[in-house]
Amino acid sequence: MSLDLCRRYLGELIAFPTVSADPNLDAIDWIAGHLEAAGAEVEVMRDPGGTKANLYAVLGGNGPGGILLSGHTDVVPVTDQDWSSDPFEMDERGGRLYGRGTCDMKGFIAACLASLDRLKAAGRPVHFAFTHDEEVGCLGAQALVEVLKTREVLPAVAIIGEPTMMQVIEGHKGCCEYTVTFEGTAGHGSAPERGVNAVEYAARYVARLLDLRRALMARAPENSRFDPPWSTINVGGLHGGVAHNVIASRAVLEWETRPVVPEDLDFVKRGIEEYAREHLLPEMRKVAPEADIVTETIGEVPGLTPMPQNAARDLVLKLTGGNGAGVVPFGTEAGLFQGLGIDAVICGPGSIDQAHKADEYVSLEQLQLCLDLLGRLSGEA
């Protein structure tokens, strides 16, 4: 019965096109209605623009020792992807449910909602955190954490339901994203020395990032469990210029770093900021005093650090029968909750290999395993 309910809820969630660039309020209101009907105390926290919201709810009273179930409501775009069916209308084929967000990560949210009757019989509070804009820097979770910092009572453990094929994950790297805008001056391409070519300076900035990337490989912590074992840097996009024969007056660079340890983030930021300040900007301003390099921090999300003592890991290993916890290269909101002093673990239905792709899917078998975990969780709470 709960699997049929989970399938139905997932289909309704998929029908909300909650791409990160668009509002998620309809989906949040729909989720809130189910939680309120189950007797949960529900808070809807809108972002400053009023078009996005987090949902935080507590079932069973806000006492100590609670369990937090967490997931994000936003999904990545489907633009230029070749889907076999409508990505926002769930399609069932061969024991798989297809649609944008089925595994990343509305399948987990649907399983939580389908398990409310069992969870509300738990012996300790069950908290729910469903956030916005995880895919673009965990913006919703960062705002939620600031609210939770003011609360006297927090959950003791957190389960973040990102797709792990229901394997228990106790660690991942951080994810820090930046957009850098280079402002130069235009001019005729026949006299490049008379302008400040923003694309050229952005390219030099990228070259310095690649130098730092090589240096990070030599800084890999001993016995690192990650793959690759070192902190990484990726250049995601470089946009600028208007024509072959015009000096580019503006360029926008998008890049990220995924630190294994916080010290690597400091190393990268210090290295690139010094290079821009001491080398690039002086050269640019010799030609045009108004030239500039402006960095916008999109998000600096901490990693989930494997800890010797982790009650969430131990609880989920017991409930799943797992014999060990792993680490993953992708980022989640788990480190933000860990920063509040909450023991955190990642475990959810579906595979990250299906996330962000055309024909994203989650199997019915994976959803059933998730429902089984939540059912056993209610008995352990």
Q: What's the pLDDT tens digit per position in 157-166?
A: 999 999 999 9
* Residue 82 and residue 101 in one domain: yes
Residue 181, token pair as written in the block: 């805008």
129 and 24 in a common domain? yes
Return the H-helix or E-strand segment holding 213. helix 198-218
Single residue among 301, 326, 350 that ends a domain in this structure: 301
In this structure, what CATH number is given to the domain that contains residue 106? 3.40.630.10
Known active-site residue 134: yes
Do residues 11 and 92 both lie within one domain? yes
Instruction: Tell me the residue length of the chain.
Output: 381
Residue 54: beta bridge partners?
A: 45
Both 246 and 293 in one domain: the answer is yes
Distance linking the first and last C-alpha atoms of the chain: 22
Last residue of a domain, one of 285, 301, 317: 301
Query: Is residue 4 annotated as a catalytic residue, yes or no?
Result: no
Q: Is 370 exposed, middle or buried (0-12, 13-18, 19+ CB in 10 A)?
A: buried
b/e map of 243-261 (b: 16 or more CB within 10 Å)? eeeebbbbbbbbbbbbbbb
Q: Are residue 84 and residue 12 in the same domain, yes or no?
A: yes
- Structure token digits, residue 168: 């228990």
- 356 with 287, same domain: the answer is no
Q: How far apart are CA 344 and CA 149, in angstroms?
A: 16
Q: The CATH number of the domain where 280 resides is what?
A: 3.30.70.360
Name the token pair of 130.
């469903």
Shared domain for 11 and 148, answered yes or no, is yes
Q: How confident is the model at residue 381 (pLDDT cuts 50, 70, 90)?
A: very low
175-183 vs 250-258, strand pairing mode: antiparallel
Residue 277 has pLDDT above 90, yes or no: yes
Percentage of the chain exceeding pLDDT 70: 99
For the chain, the domain total comes to: 2
Cα angle, residue 256 at apex, residues 83 and 195 outer, rounded to 5°: 105
Res 1: pLDDT: 59
Tell me: do 313 and 369 sit in the same domain.
yes
> Domain check: are 53 and 102 in the same one?
yes
> pLDDT digits over 54-107, tens only?
999 999 988 889 999 999 999 999 999 999 999 999 999 999 999 999 999 999
Closest CA relative to residue 242, chosen from 204, 207, 206, 199:
199
Instruction: Kindly give, in sequence order, each residue whose CB lies less than 8 Å from that of residue 170, ignoring residues fewer than 6 positions away.
Output: 304, 306, 307, 310, 313, 325, 326, 327, 345, 346
Domain that holds residue 26: 2-172+303-380
Chosen domain end from 244, 275, 301: 301
Which of 134, 135, 264, 333 is catalytic? The answer is 134
Point out the catalytic residue in the list 74, 135, 256, 333: 74
Query: Across all residues in the chain, what is the average pLDDT?
Result: 95
